[in-house]
Structure 1
Amino acid sequence: MPTRELLAIDVVASGRLDVNSGVARMSGKTWAVLWRGGPRRASTVVLFVHPASNFMGHYATEYMSTLGVDAAGLATRYVGNDSALIMENCLLDIGAAIAHLRDLGYERVVLVGNSGGGGLAALYQAQAESPDITRTPAGDPVDIAGAGLSPADSLVMAMAHPGRAVVYTEALDAAIVDELNPFARDESLDMFDPRNGPVYPDEFIRRYREAQIARNRRITEWAQQTLIEIAEEAEPSGGSEADALDDLPFVVHGTAADPRFLDGTIDPSDRKLTTLWGAPWSANFRPASLGHYSSLRSWLSQWSYDLSRANAYKQLPKVQAPVLVVYGSADCAAFPSHARGMADAVRHDDVELVEIEGADHYFQGRPDLARRMSSIIVDWGTR
């Protein structure tokens, strides 16, 4: 009979006010839920990670605990609030979780980056094997190189895209020409204008992708320049240095405009033409969809196309551990080209690419396919 255990994991605070809750900041802990299949701990534990989603109730963990392993879902310090998220701090949280699991006696740790956890898990493993990060993209000290991160024994990309900055840029609305007015639009780059498609011509796609990257880079340049300006002008007045203004929030409109959402001939698969948040036009502006709120520092670490390090395409070539990539043929968020690109990025031979036919991003209505994914990961991770 599976049993559930709450893990309180000590973490290193960032020293910056980047978590709203004082209770969370002052606790010095992050949390995970561990499922065990029996009274004794298994020799292998599977750890599911994501930068901001609450994986303490992850759908796969309880079932996995019936397959001869224990399984845990982690919540980082940024759970449910990625507006100030720093990817490098998430590495410290994963490192603390893996160290905690090893202290509990687990001999093997299988690290699973699920969905937006793919790029983060790849970055973690690359840094755990060969650490070299000492600063965030904004220049803030973060001692990844000296943190003593414990490498996982194997790495899984499960229903994952290569990283938040990559998939975010692929979904930035290229038609927006005024960051303060999402309805001031370049008609020639508007994927929602029926004169452009779908089906979208190759030339439109080429221009659209170029414009998306250019927009991301404009926001990155503005964020960097704004950080310089506030450092020069916003000195503390009668307070300590820690009270000085050192970041600002901002809004990004139009973040669910990937042409693949409307055109099934691009990156062909069994997916429905939609997004994880509903119809593309409304999801593009809906507050609950991806990455509408950010701080300057978080943008550089999390969303910047050029500066964010949590990019599996760039990190997987550095990874020496075995890698499994599992994807669904009906996924409308992590596409077949993402899975193939991640598998191709691995530079050693111990890599496997597995398609689960008919599976969407969350296995909606198909618990049998979720169990299949779980079995694939367990069988591979306990070879």
Structure 2
Amino acid sequence: MLTRELLPIPMTSGGRLDINSGVARLSGKIWATLWKDDRRPPGTAVLIVHPASNFIGHYALEELASRGVAAAGLATRYVGNDSALIMENCVLDVGAAIRRLRELGYEKIVLVGNSGGGGLAALYQAQAENPTITHTPAGDPVDLTTADLIPADQIVMAMAHPGRAVVYTEGLDPAIVDEHRPFDRDPGLDMFDPANGPAYAPEFVSRYRQAQLDRNRRISDWAFQQIEALRARTRRSPSGGQEVPDDLPFVVHGTAADPRFLDLSLDPSDRAVGTLWGSPWVANFQPASLGHLTSLRSWLSQWSHEHSRANAYRRLPGVKAPVLVVSGSADCAAFPSHARGMYDAVGHDRRELVEIKGADHYFQGRPDLAAAMCDHIVEWAR
């Protein structure tokens, strides 16, 4: 009989105030949902992760459990709010979840990075196998070398892109010339200007991609400068000591401007024109789309192309565990080059690349294709 239970998991302190809710912060816990077949002894557990999405109700959990493995969906400390997210703390959360599953008797752990969880899963496994990180990109202490992270036995990149900083930069609008005035635009770098396409010429795409990297780097440099400047803003506290703000929030406009959203000849697949949030032009400025509100420290850890560590292209070459990459031919968020790039990055032959024909990012209207993904994961686990 399939059962579902809510797992409380001890949360390692991140050392800073980056969770708004006092209830969540003071509880000292994160949470996961565990689906399992009570008629089977503990064996293999599949853990599905993402930095900020609530995977407690993930669509694959019951399907996986019905195939004879236990399936857990994790909610990190940043569930539903990535504005102050620190990737290194997400690694600690994944580590705590794997440790809890081991304590429950599961001998084999398959770590699944779904969507934006791909970069996190790759970073976790790399650090669990060979821990090196002692500080965040902003310089805050977060010692993964002493965190006793337990490596997963296998890794799955499921409908995943290589990392939030990568896909974010690929959607960062380079036509914005003033970070405070999103509609003051450089027409020569505007994918929404009909004079440029679609279709987009190779020369335009090349300039566009470089300008995206340049904008990301400018924001990263500015974030470091602002963190340094904050150190001068000390004041005397009521208790007589010194206090200083150590982070600030800011807005990033234009984050859904990937030319692939409008030009299907770029990175060709079966996808439809558009984004996960609808029209690219609207999603580019819509608060609910990707990464418009962040903080200085979170930007460096989560969105900075140069400084974020959660990049599967960079992490997978050192990973020793077997790696399965599952992609959808109609996915408009994780593109064919992402899947191929992650597969090629794996530094050994215990790897597999699977494409599910017709599957979009969320398998909308196609539970049969979601079931096919679960079949691949369970077959791989066995």
Give me the TM-score of the superposition, normalised by structure 1: 0.98
Matching residue's letter, 1:214: D
Matching residue's letter, 2:203: E
Q: Which residue of 1 aligns with 2:373?
A: 373
Q: SS at the partner of 1:48?
A: strand
Q: Which residue of 2 aligns with 1:15?
A: 15
Q: Which residue of 2 aligns with 1:175?
A: 175
Q: Is the 8 A contact 1:235 1:245 kept in 2?
A: no
* Deviation string, structure 1 residues 211-263 (Cα, Å, up to 9, x no partner): 00000000000000000000122345335879521000000000000000000
Matching residue's letter, 1:330: A
Matching residue's letter, 1:253: H
Structure-2 separation of matches of 1:45 and 1:351: 20
The alignment of Structure 1 onto Structure 2 pairs a total of residues equal to 382
Q: Is the 8 A contact 2:235 2:242 kept in 1?
A: no
Q: Is the 8 A contact 1:41 1:70 kept in 2?
A: no
* Deviation string, structure 1 residues 272-297 (Cα, Å, up to 9, x no partner): 11100001000000000000000000
**1:159 has 2:176 as partner:** no
Structure-1 separation of matches of 2:39 and 2:303: 43
Q: Which residue of 2 aligns with 1:206?
A: 206
Q: Which residue of 2 aligns with 1:271?
A: 271
Instruction: Call closer, same or farther: CA 1:242–1:70 in 2, change over 3 Å.
Output: farther
Q: Is the 8 A contact 2:114 2:157 kept in 1?
A: yes
Structure-2 separation of matches of 1:340 and 1:212: 22
Q: Which residue of 1 aligns with 2:70?
A: 70
Structure 1 stretches of at least 4 aligned residues deviating more than 6 Å after TM superposition: none
Structure-2 separation of matches of 1:240 and 1:181: 41
Where do 1:79-118 residues align within 5 Å?
A: 79-118=79-118
Matching residue's letter, 2:68: G
Q: SS at the partner of 1:72?
A: strand
Q: Is the 8 A contact 2:135 2:142 kept in 1?
A: yes
Q: Which residue of 2 aligns with 1:283?
A: 283
* Deviation string, structure 1 residues 11-63 (Cα, Å, up to 9, x no partner): 11112110000000000000000001234443000000000000000000111
Structure-1 separation of matches of 2:55 and 2:146: 27
Instruction: Call closer, same or farther: CA 1:335–1:239 in 2, change over 3 Å.
Output: farther
Structure-2 separation of matches of 1:46 and 1:241: 49
Q: Which residue of 2 aligns with 1:238?
A: 238
Instruction: Call closer, same or farther: CA 1:187–1:124 in 2, change over 3 Å.
Output: same
Q: Is the 8 A contact 1:42 1:68 kept in 2?
A: no
- Which structure 1 segments of 5+ residues have no match? none
Q: Is the 8 A contact 2:174 2:208 kept in 1?
A: yes
Q: Which residue of 1 aligns with 2:147?
A: 147
Q: Which residue of 1 aligns with 2:326?
A: 326
Q: Is the 8 A contact 1:113 1:158 kept in 2?
A: yes
Matching residue's letter, 2:98: I
- 1:355 is displaced (CA, Å) by 0.3
**1:227 has 2:215 as partner:** no
Q: Which residue of 1 aligns with 2:193?
A: 193
Matching residue's letter, 1:127: Q
Q: Is the 8 A contact 2:271 2:332 kept in 1?
A: yes
Instruction: Call closer, same or farther: CA 1:236–1:190 in 2, change over 3 Å.
Output: farther
Matching residue's letter, 1:298: S
Q: SS at the partner of 1:145?
A: helix
Percent identity of equivalent pairs: 70
Matching residue's letter, 1:276: L
Structure-2 separation of matches of 1:143 and 1:237: 29
Q: Which residue of 2 aligns with 1:356?
A: 356
Structure-1 separation of matches of 2:253 and 2:240: 35
Instruction: Call closer, same or farther: CA 1:46–1:229 in 2, change over 3 Å.
Output: same
* Deviation string, structure 1 residues 87-141 (Cα, Å, up to 9, x no partner): 0000000000000000000000000000000000000000000001000000000
Q: Is the 8 A contact 2:234 2:242 kept in 1?
A: no
Q: SS at the partner of 2:48?
A: strand
Q: Which residue of 1 aligns with 2:136?
A: 136
Q: Is the 8 A contact 1:251 1:293 kept in 2?
A: yes
Matching residue's letter, 1:208: Y
Structure-1 separation of matches of 2:100 and 2:128: 15
Structure-2 separation of matches of 1:359 and 1:28: 38
- Which structure 2 segments of 5+ residues have no match? none
Let me know the Cα RMSD of the aligned residues: 1.1
Q: SS at the partner of 1:377?
A: helix
